Chains A and B, each alone.
Chain A
């Protein structure tokens, strides 16, 4: 039966995350926006909490995301994927920069959970893993990466430059995408786990950014970095017939999570805007024809409708993952919608609130800066549109570029 409300059990998860967002993140939000490269030590406690929960089997971290296989039972599930997106939405309502730098919750952790062997999972258990894909000349076109890996005896040797690595400096491990043979295209791209402190891997630079300043964004140079042979994730062999589906599938699961980040930030902006406008005499009762109400009220409702849509698309994608339904199109739809409306809403809220929106006395201007990245990383708006278009038009990548 069509039912689009969040069930009580999940709501409780969301409420808990909201409490963390409000109690722990909001009070330090402005601080780490100003002190861009300072380490948010307040979050170490959160790591213990989350590790404890994970060890207790909550499956709530980035490693809890996975495509559930279609089970024998036909019963509809509201599982981990839904819990994670709800959690992320609420946490980012607090502070999305801090959300990206929660110790132990890196994108690399999701990759390890998806592709690692059980031996590797044991070895890397409890470690915070960053993911390094992008290079100066390869962003959206991740198949064009030039970082190389070759086998020397029983060690892999990595050479290359990675940029925009979230938590690249703070994480315990970095998952590096490198190619075994550039001439063989994407089939030769593999991921390798490099522990922090390994000679040959060096963080050379931390970016100054428009937003999510609390999250560190690193440039990493690999100069003959030698790692154990069994640090490769997945198979060593190059199967040119296979597309790089395995790791890409991780992105089907993380796209709704990024959508959640965008929805969370936008909701924060809309909530505060309504609060500020309430104090100045405006109330929002959804009364009156949309053309006959004050323009400012109509703007709020328009934003709210778009945000609601983004939120429901995000939950739909996560629900499909929980129920073993392939969700590549829906995941991209969710990220595309959330990315663009999240940015529009946060910017509009600054505008609606005038100098209060523009001032650093409120967090509105910060959210308007933070939101932009969610329409860019993990697949830009344009890449999401490309994915959706290809699915809807049934096109191969060589036809629709």
Chain B
């Protein structure tokens, strides 16, 4: 199946060779040597084209059905509950420590856009992507857990949302694969994420239009003899310059939005780093696809998995809500400390109701965002319908996250406006909530 795309040119060449070598004209006019040379060149060229498109990710075996991650995880008891599992609590403790000790101290510097490879080595040791890869292929994952992924987004974003998105981009790819990929695709494309080096990968969904609609993509995929040909422009793709692998979403003629696994070396791909209001450390890039050829096996899920585009969009929306929670918590914790220390008119400004109430409201709205996000994620994890809950969570986060961001600057007054303090950075990052789509599939 994976060899379809170069057997055809090869068989054509062999047929041509056969005809020429048996031709009396070639022998009579002593054209045999040059003819053979020509055929040889032609054949080598066609094999080269075929090889270009051939995947260098070859799986030794496919995944068995029971080796994939378990889905639809139900709670042991039917009880309203807000307690984390012991594992989630351990991961939370570790990631918050990483956020405070490693991420937050560099968060201002990386806003220039330069992130050291050292950082990514440290991130790799956290094993984020590994946690989503099935155990059968040397990963640490056993279940699909949107809740655990939301908590990771929340805890890393507490350090810095930009770096969180960068750190989690490979896991986004992994989650999309384990959710929608065929067993062959999982076996082929997930092993690099268990490597000792950080393996960058991304999801490419957004397109540069003011009225971008995630359900009506302008990037188009047309079926060809060898697979598919894609044309279009993707924007705000995290780690775009570095990623070896991507899942690009395009409208497949007569089928609607589908995912396509892109390997960086395919011809026709042009990548440019973007400059945005914030989130520069996440390496957001623009991907231009001009007649890019994809093999048949690049279709996410192939014929094996029923793809639900709305589900993918919703899982990613929950992911961004998770990032919003962490960033807003950072703002809240910072302004509490600042307001308690800043003296004006003889006492801390936190003694004044105008400031204290603004902070109380920030806390209340953050808790509101949190409850809606957790509910959407927990329903997704349990296999319950979660589209409505995600829609409401995103609505809440889009509105309230920015309010918290702007109030954060306000409380610091003039100091909030300058780069010496982090609130202006969070303000710029939080505006992306409500805009980003597909960034972090939980």
Contacts and interface: CB of A to CB of B under 8 A. Distances in A.
Interface of A: 1-10, 76-78, 82, 286, 289-290, 292, 301-302, 304-306, 308-310, 312-313, 315-316, 319, 330, 333, 336-337, 382, 385-386, 388-390, 392-395, 399-401
B360 A4 contact: no
**Lowest 7 A-B CB distances belong to which pairs?**
A309-B368, A312-B371, A389-B356, A389-B360, A305-B392, A286-B391, A388-B360
Given A2-B147, A315-B80, A392 B392 contact: no
Contact of B76 (A1, A306, A382): A1
B398 interface: yes
A98 B395 CA distance: 34
A1 B83 contact: yes
A3 B75 contact: yes
A1 B367 contact: no
B357 A385 contact: yes
A400 B81 CA distance: 33
Contact residues of B: prevailing secondary structure: helix
B82 A302 contact: no
A2 B81 contact: yes
Interface string B373-397: 0110111001010011101110110
Given A305-B392, A305-B396, A3 B364 contact: no
Nearest to B397: A305
B350 A400 contact: yes
B166 to A, nearest CB: 26
B353 interface: yes
Residue of A76, A305, A315, A399 contacting most chain B CB atoms (<10 Å): A305
B211 interface: yes
Contact of A400 (B147, B351, B372): B351
15 contacts: A2-B83, A3-B81, A7-B79, A301-B395, A305-B372, A310-B368, A312-B368, A389-B356, A389-B359, A392-B332, A393-B340, A393-B350, A393-B359, A395-B356, A399-B347
Contacts of B361: 385
B356 A8 contact: no
B277 interface: no
B363 A395 contact: no
A386 B392 contact: no
B398 A290 contact: yes
Contact of B357 (A292, A305, A389): A389
B84 interface: yes
A289 B213 contact: yes
Residue of B147, B359, B391 contacting most chain A CB atoms (<10 Å): B391
Contact of B81 (A1, A304, A306, A401): A1
Contact of B372 (A7, A308, A389): A308
A169 B375 CA distance: 44
Contacts, number: 150
A313 B288 CA distance: 45
Residue of A9, A309, A312 contacting most chain B CB atoms (<10 Å): A309
Contacts of A2: 81-84, 147, 374, 377-378
B351 A8 contact: no
Contact residues of A: prevailing secondary structure: helix
Contact of A78 (B80, B353, B367, B392): B80
B363 A388 contact: yes
Contact of B80 (A4, A302, A394, A399): A4
Nearest to B356: A389
A5 B389 CA distance: 12
Contacts of B153: none
Contacts of B225: none
B117 interface: no
B303 interface: no
Contacts of B33: none
Contact of B364 (A289, A337, A399, A401): A337
B334 to A, nearest CB: 13
Contact of B374 (A4, A10, A290): A4
A380 to B, nearest CB: 12
Contact of B368 (A319, A337, A393): A337
Contacts of A313: 364, 367-368, 371
B196 interface: no
Contacts of A1: 75-76, 81, 83-85, 147, 378
B339 interface: yes
Given A292-B213, A302-B395, A388-B363, A82 B80 contact: yes
Contacts of B213: 289, 292
